[in-house]
């Protein structure tokens, strides 16, 4: 299975008064991981939007917080494709620190055009995404 | 069923280059709604942390994005308690704009002490929370 | 002198591990105050962008932190126009809590068109802005 | 002159509906640069807070926006010490993209103890900071 690993450090701004990374910031990290996932497959998500006018908004997110991250922690996000449909895509994430799972999550996306209408995933992208899933 | 309704406006900072509210910011709104929910029940969440040293970290979040919000939209968050356990609590949220559902979500929480250890929900709070759920 | 007063509450997300509002979030508040300033003058900043394709990016910001804000504090932002030029505008802000000054700041803006080119401030807006400054 | 160079990429979350990095996020980058500046000098800012109970809140910030950054841009922040006092410290920043200056800024800090009272900069840190400024 193809997966992307991205290292990312907790910023002071990410913390809250409980002394740990605030819970919504993990979703920002998921988005960083998606950008890097596409890059590692050879696709530039920025160009996808700008040149091909295809967008990938989030339709659903789930996140489970198992442990905390603190300021200056250098964590790893592993991201992989769980599922590819005709115009839908599901990503899975695992955030680890020192080999220990901190957070897991998933995001469900629809490929849409500029007006927000669902479109079929372009064939070159669809094939590359499917190739990352060994069992399909 | 007791529920809290809080009005909240989309800030310029909340938007992204797709022209809509960025997906992680809805979780910040859920947190605003929780604070107001407790306030409307007569509890000050700040004092809970500061004076009673009880914390309510998020163990799990789910969010479904059905429509978009744009800059300066004045939306409503309805929050209610879905479930109260011994030391666990589940909130449900619905964000609407002009009567139309934009986002729904839920957060699962554990009551913990200062060291992160689960503690029983204090009796006064537990009773007040349970009273908000008619079927229990 | 005409000024706008907007009340705003510190969110949990706004705090950092020092237990106070994180320093960049005051700039988000300045932006909220600008939106409300325009609204109180009868202008809808959203429509300015959307219908008249005029934008007001920040060219410069200064902020002085004199005291701290904490979670759930209900602060007041006073905003006023300091200076109006041909295509430039300077706002001043004071954030207070219980009558005590917490933060002061200013933002300098240029009116630009969709391509980022400076444009003259539309006459109706310019006149309304100037009328808020007694000494000019 | 000793200076730190840190590369940093614009996240989708950093953008706003104008299509560029939102203005307050540059202050978050300044904070990232400060952490890396201390690290490159051999000091761990996290340990400074945690073990020595010394904090470095921002007393003042200035930021000038000369050009824009867009999603996925890989920018460079150069940070250096402008001034070291007894308990005060001034940092300067320059953010560049492809060799072109995008943003410049400075932050003024006071070293304080846990209760917020100004304290003298610890001698080892003060010496290291002063050595980064050739002219002093």
Residues of chain D with pLDDT under 50: 136
Residues of chain A that touch chain B, judged by Cβ-Cβ distance less than 8 Å: 18, 20, 23-25, 27-28, 31, 49, 55, 57-65, 68, 116
Nearest-Cα distance to chain C for B38, in Å, is 12
Rounded distance, CA A124 to CA B132, Å? 52
Per-residue model confidence (pLDDT) at position A135: 65
Indicate whether A134 pLDDT > 90: no
CB atoms within 10 A of CB B86: 11
Per-residue model confidence (pLDDT) at position B136: 46
- Which of A26, A29, A35 would you mutate first to test chain D, the one with the most D CBs within 10 A? A35
SS3 content of chain A, % helix, strand, coil (to 5): 25, 40, 40
- Pair B63, B92: CB distance under 8 Å: no
Tokens 């489970």 found at: A64
Query: Distance from CA of residue A37 to its chain's centroid?
Result: 7
CA nearest to B8 within chain C: C8
- Pair D91, D37: CB distance under 8 Å: yes
Counting Cα atoms < 13 Å in the Cβ hemisphere of B5 gives 7
Q: Which residues of B touch D16 (CB under 8 A)?
A: 12-13, 15-17
Give the contacts of B10 (CB within 8 A, at least 6 positions apart).
B21, B69, B70, B71, B72, B73, B75
Nearest-Cα distance to chain C for D3, in Å, is 23
pTM over 0.95: yes
Query: Distance from CA of residue D37 to its chain's centroid?
Result: 7
Residues of chain C with pLDDT under 70: 135-136
Rounded distance, CA B70 to CA B36, Å? 23
Separation in Å, CA A92 to CA A2, A63, A105, B76: 12, 10, 6, 30
Chains that touch A (3 or more CB pairs under 8 A): B, C, D
Q: pLDDT, tens digit, for every residue of A14-26?
A: 999 999 999 999 9
- Pair D110, D88: CB distance under 8 Å: yes
DSSP state of C126: H
pLDDT band at A1 (very low <50, low <70, confident <90, very high): confident
Please judge whether B61 and A62 are an interchain contact, meaning their C-beta atoms are less than 8 angstroms apart.
yes
Per-residue model confidence (pLDDT) at position B135: 65
Paired tokens of B34: 């929780």
Can you name the residues that pair with D97 across neighbouring β-strands? D100
Please judge whether B31 and C46 are an interchain contact, meaning their C-beta atoms are less than 8 angstroms apart.
no
Give counts: helices (H), strands (E), chain C.
Answer: 3, 5
Tell me the average pLDDT of chain A: 96
CATH homologous superfamily of C4-131 equals Hotdog Thioesterase (3.10.129.10)
Per-residue model confidence (pLDDT) at position C135: 65
Per-residue model confidence (pLDDT) at position D136: 46
Q: Which residues of A touch C24 (CB under 8 A)?
A: 13
Could you tell me which of A117, A47, A38, A111 has the C-alpha nearest to residue A81? A38
pLDDT band at A136 (very low <50, low <70, confident <90, very high): very low
Residues of chain B that touch chain C, judged by Cβ-Cβ distance less than 8 Å: 11-13, 28, 31-32, 35, 44-46, 70-72
Please judge whether D61 and C57 are an interchain contact, meaning their C-beta atoms are less than 8 angstroms apart.
no
Paired tokens of D55: 């904090």
Please judge whether B58 and A65 are an interchain contact, meaning their C-beta atoms are less than 8 angstroms apart.
yes
Nearest-Cα distance to chain D for B37, in Å, is 28
- Interface pTM (ipTM) of the complex? 0.96
Paired tokens of B50: 């500061």
Q: pLDDT, tens digit, for every residue of A61-88?
A: 999 999 999 999 999 999 999 999 999 9
Nearest-Cα distance to chain D for A128, in Å, is 21
Residue spans of the domains in chain D: they are: 4-131
Separation in Å, CA B62 to CA A62, A79, B69, B103, D30: 4, 18, 18, 10, 32
Per-residue model confidence (pLDDT) at position C134: 77
B129: left (phi over 0), alpha (psi -120 to 50) or beta: alpha
CA nearest to A72 within chain D: D46
Rounded distance, CA C35 to CA D34, Å? 32
Please judge whether D23 and C64 are an interchain contact, meaning their C-beta atoms are less than 8 angstroms apart.
no
Nearest-Cα distance to chain A for C21, in Å, is 9
Separation in Å, CA D72 to CA B15, C58, D17, D98, D112: 17, 21, 15, 13, 37
Residues of chain B with pLDDT under 50: 136
Separation in Å, CA D6 to CA D32, D41, D97, D109, D124: 8, 14, 12, 20, 24
- Could you list the beta-strand ranges (E) of B10-130: 58-65, 74-84, 88-97, 100-110
């Amino acid at each position: 299975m193809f997966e992307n690993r991205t290292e990312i450090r907790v910023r002071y701004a990410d913390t809250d008064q409980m002394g740990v990374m605030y819970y919504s910031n993990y979703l920002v990290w998921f988005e960083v991981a998606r950008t890097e996932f596409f890059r590692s497959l050879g696709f530039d998500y920025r160009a996808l939007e700008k040149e091909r006018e295809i967008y990938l908004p989030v339709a659903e997110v789930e996140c489970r917080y198992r442990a905390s991250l603190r300021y200056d922690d250098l964590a790893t996000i592993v991201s992989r494709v769980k599922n590819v449909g005709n115009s839908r895509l599901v990503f899975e994430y695992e955030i680890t620190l020192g080999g220990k799972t901190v957070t897991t999550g998933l995001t469900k996306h629809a490929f849409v055009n500029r007006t927000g209408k669902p479109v079929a995933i372009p064939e070159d992208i669809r094939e590359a995404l499917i190739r990352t899933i060994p069992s399909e």
